[in-house]
Chains A and B, each alone.
Chain A
Amino acid sequence: NAGVTQTPKFQVLKTGQSMTLQCAQDMNHNSMYWYRQDPGMGLRLIYYSASEGTTDKGEVPNGYNVSRLNKREFSLRLESAAPSQTSVYFCATRGLEQYFGPGTRLTVT
């Protein structure tokens, strides 16, 4: 079992470009999450999905959209990237404890 997988691992975008971060889990969990992590700021929740077909905003949703494609997959889209979105992005799922993917390091120039 792979647990939580994310693609890509690294990405460089120019300001204004768009991209989608992909996440998949094989743990059969209902809930999935997208976080960003910046130095000194800790993990901040962008969006989450409590179950297939539902999504909700977290602490920092502006500039992002999400799609819960099915129970396994939860994608995060940046429609028009900005330098402030330079960060490391983590997808996660949870039973009682949370399981994180390996992260995507995104740089927006």
Chain B
Amino acid sequence: SQKIEQNSEALNIQEGKTATLTCNYTNYSPAYLQWYRQDPGRGPVFLLLIRENEKEKRKERLKVTFDTTLKQSLFHITASQPADSATYLCALDMKGGATNKLIFGTGTLLAVQP
């Protein structure tokens, strides 16, 4: 069966450390993988997108890797801050393009302690 898995348990880290979140999938071959941030009571907000032929993508303190052989994406936040505390969702995009559905993971709650 097709599955997307993110750490269901909350990730607690100390301010200043690097947070690493994992997204694993089975029986999918996505063209793109996207990461979103969701704060309590709000809709998800797009952060980063990585294509299947890209190994790594960076944006400020954020870094995403995409290993299509392992079927895994890692999402890193360096020099983490309490303001980074939120739920982070990964989403698979099978074909790319605006008319296709995204398939979302259930998210990982990140808590950054001051």
Contacts and interface: CB of A to CB of B under 8 A. Distances in A.
Interface residues of A, number: 26
A29 B99 CA distance: 9
A100 B98 contact: no
Contact of A58 (B93, B97, B101, B105): B101
Interface stretch (B11-19, B44-52, B56-64): B44-52
A33 interface: yes
B17 to A, nearest CB: 26
Contacts of A98: 34, 36, 44, 46, 91, 102
Contacts of B41: 103
Interface residues of B, number: 24
B42 A42 contact: no
A101 B38 CA distance: 12
A95 B104 contact: no
Interface string A93-107: 011111111110000
Contacts of A4: 43
Contact of A101 (B43, B97, B102): B43
A96 B101 CA distance: 10
Nearest to A43: B104
Contact of B43 (A30, A41, A50, A90): A90
Contacts of B43: 4, 90, 92, 100-103
